[in-house]
Amino acid sequence: MALGAVVRRAFGPYERQVAEAWRAIFFNLDDWMAMVRDWAPGARRILELGCGEGYSTERLARLFPEAEILAVDIAANIGRLYAGPADRVSFRIAYAEDLAAELPGHFDLVVLTDVLHHVPLALRPSLLGAARDLLAPGGVLAFKDWERRWSPIHAATYSADRWLTGDRIAYLTVPEARAALGAVFGEAALGRTVRIAPWAHNYAIRVAR
């Protein structure tokens, strides 16, 4: 079990409140989820890649009340703290590439939030390619990550990501991220880069299929 999971569980019944407060230091998840809704308001089949313990999944379920949502991760703690509706949301341990072979072109919206920097560099084209293949024509990839640029908050974010998750982290700059997305989806598919509070390091890109 990663150090972060051990620390969070040590807070017992207050784990969720502490985790939400900790995340808010770095990133406004509610602002991001509202942006996702605005980017794909009519989505009825939604896939969240790298859903973790289910915080953002819960918000997606609330913001898209008529959508069927599949949330996947490769971690054993998948959906552990999800407290939303159970009838429209399912959690599954799966790799994106396997899911793309099973459900090509199935989703109106694919959400990828702060996942890419955890993925080894050599595997990133495969993950992004799977995200593309999972989208239906006219679908949207809502991509969000943290930009590599020196600042005290960046050092704090790297330390938290590296030591609490145990992963070997490699952030991209925005031009690097746009190049990686453009190589898979094509440059014309990329929308403008948007920043998300409270730090300009948080950036998001709407990508069209």
Mean pLDDT of the region 86-113 = 98
Note down the domain range covering 185. 3-208
Summarised one tens digit per residue, pLDDT across range 28-78 is 999 999 999 999 999 999 999 999 999 999 999 999 999 999 999 998 889
Q: What band does 17 get if pLDDT is binned at 50, 70 and 90?
A: confident
Please compute the mean of the pLDDT values over residues 79-108 and round it to a whole number.
96
Strand partners, 93: 73
CB count within 10 Å of CB 125 equals 12
**Residue 5 phi, psi (nearest 5):** -65, -40
Q: What is the DSSP pairing of strand 89-93 with strand 68-73?
A: parallel
**CATH number for 7:** 3.40.50.150
Name the domain count of the chain. Answer: 1
Mean of per-residue pLDDT scores for the chain: 92
User: What 3-state DSSP class applies to 158?
Assistant: helix
What's this model's pTM, rounded to 2 decimal places? 0.92
Looking at residue 179, what is its pLDDT? 98
